[in-house]
Structure 1
Amino acid sequence: MMGKISNGGSAGGCIDYVTRKKKDKPDGSPCDEWKIIDSKDVFLSGGRAEITASLQDNISMNPNVKDPVGHISLNFHALDKDKVTEEMMVEIAGKYMERMDIKDTPYILVRHFDKDYPHCHLVYSRINNFGETISDSNDYSRNKDACRSLTEEYGLHISDGKQHTNVDQLRGVEKIRYEIFNAVNDAWKDRSICDFDKFKAKLKASGVGIEYKYRRGTNEVQGLWYTRKGKRFSASKIDRRFSYSNIRKHLSENRPLHPDSKWMYADGSIVPITNFRGVKFSRQQINDYVTGKAIRVDGCKGEYSTVYLKFVPEVKVPKVFSSNPDEPKQTSTSSFAPSLSHTQQPSAPEGGCCSVSGGDTETFSEFKARHPELTPKQALDAWRAKRRGKHLNGGFHM
């Protein structure tokens, strides 16, 4: 997977591009080359104009920012065409946004079907719902790191700038290189492999061998070659993760998971969690969590900014609580879904809504000042709804 960043200044121009306006059918309906597969805080029912206006609402809160429209294409290898489902694409994009710190802002995710490799376009306002600028500092470096880690997490194919390769054209040495990568990556992800001998045995079963490169005049291993079908590749030609030192370090940290839960190890101890809903845990929080204590998490994304997180051994999963479950008579509000980034949110409290009023010319700042009881996000949603009298769902080519 690779991400290409091309931020710009025109929300309308970017929306027209990703929704292929120039390829609309004669009757004005959209062509079949694209589909909105995810969105947030965007009015879809009014078509391109309303989508653009949803972004402009945020941009207007900080009009001096250069290139306020974020545009990132996420491109997957052609070899992953059958693996990358629409649901996976949405999930990966969500995790990518978290790692790029793109949050609390309207966005759409548009899948394109005009190439032989899966890809999608993320368009968002770089002015978030609080009027703050989403930083683009070091975004190219952060983009590279995010793409590499997600490629590893989902077992996708390495790109090396060849993400547009036609799978039917893979032959000879290049095909062997990808076969080696898949075998090594599978062994890398097998948490039951805790030493190098087992790692080598796993590769051998897949038809991949290992040869050592020694420091001149010594028996010290300096590097690796991977071999298959008479061909030999240095580790860096497969993936820089798969060097000798990296593999040894990775294997030393491996522990087999429990057969019934990815949240605990086979010996019954708890797998550490380092972050939740955009909050990075302190060392003390991690230590408390793995010892079975409930930990308080402040600053969460979602309806509740403060929740409690606790591993529940009876069901072998962590659960989220609205109040401290270690105190008497507390009940959980939700349990973890398969992915941390898609955990079910606690249900909203009763009576959480409020009525709003005001003229159509009222600015967001004026509206927010009249409704101090609303959070910035609630105020922005209500202000948008008041201006348009519409809902944040339905409609445009979903």
Structure 2
Amino acid sequence: MIGKIVKGRSFKGCISYVIDAKDAKILASEGVLETDKGSIINSFYMQSLLNPKLSKCVGHIPLAFSPDDKERLTDQFMERLAKEYMKAMGIENTQYLIVRHNNTSHPHLHIVFNRVDNDGKTISDKNDRYRNEKVCKQLKDKYNLTYGKGKDNVNVQKLKGAEQTKYEIYHAIKAALPKAKNWRQFESLLDKQGVSIEYKRKGQTDEVQGISFKKDNHSFKGSDVDRKFSYSKLDAVLNENNHSQEQQIIIPAETQNTGSNLSENIVSGVADALSSVGGLFDIQPSNQGENEAEYLRQQALKKKKKPEKRRVMRR
């Protein structure tokens, strides 16, 4: 079970997409006239006028399920899951429409709701993406639903907007991480894929507390892209990559006494390896930690440095 949070401005576009799909079936509704599509759209629109300042009044959440659960997912069960999901997400006292689609291999439904509730108040979207993941997991555990096979199997091309960008960032990080042995290399590899890194620091210090990744106009915290991509976990992987590289170029003890020529060749080879490993950024393994800290410190100073104000001479 996976939920996707979407907010928009047009009830007409959203409801037309949901209802006009092949084999679409309305499972439940609240506060709307179901006589025809136009009546449904008008019902949502009229209530949105209670809070005209809210520009994105359309709430749209597709809920997708594993094909392995298809036999269990009757209309009644899917309606129950949708209503429990809405309650846990705080989507209450408002209009909604629950529509099941049968046009894909995996069972899924669409929840359309008015973010302007029956009293004219706004349905909160605070931390909604985090809450969405939490609620989906709770329902999967409660009803023993099948967990998906992970982000690697998601068809990114079928996604749109911020969700598509987040998955593109995920794949970029996953591809770059094994190849980097420090943050500078990691940044360089991501930059080639159009992804930049922003560090969150503690107060006015250089201590890094968090990390965000940005591509195009979308930015995500590392843990939002994937739980494995928090700053501390990424830092641990990069340190391990560096340690593994150092281990690979250590001279085996048993080869040190097999002859001067052999030893010289080995030492020469190790020197070449060190040069090729560190040459890109002129960082040697022996002082890797110091250079890494200095690099992050310099990055922080660049962001903090402000242009000097020009003084105007008074006469």
Superposition TM-score, scaled by structure 1 size: 0.38
Which is greater in Rg?
Answer: 2
Superposition TM-score, scaled by structure 2 size: 0.47
Higher relative helix content: 2
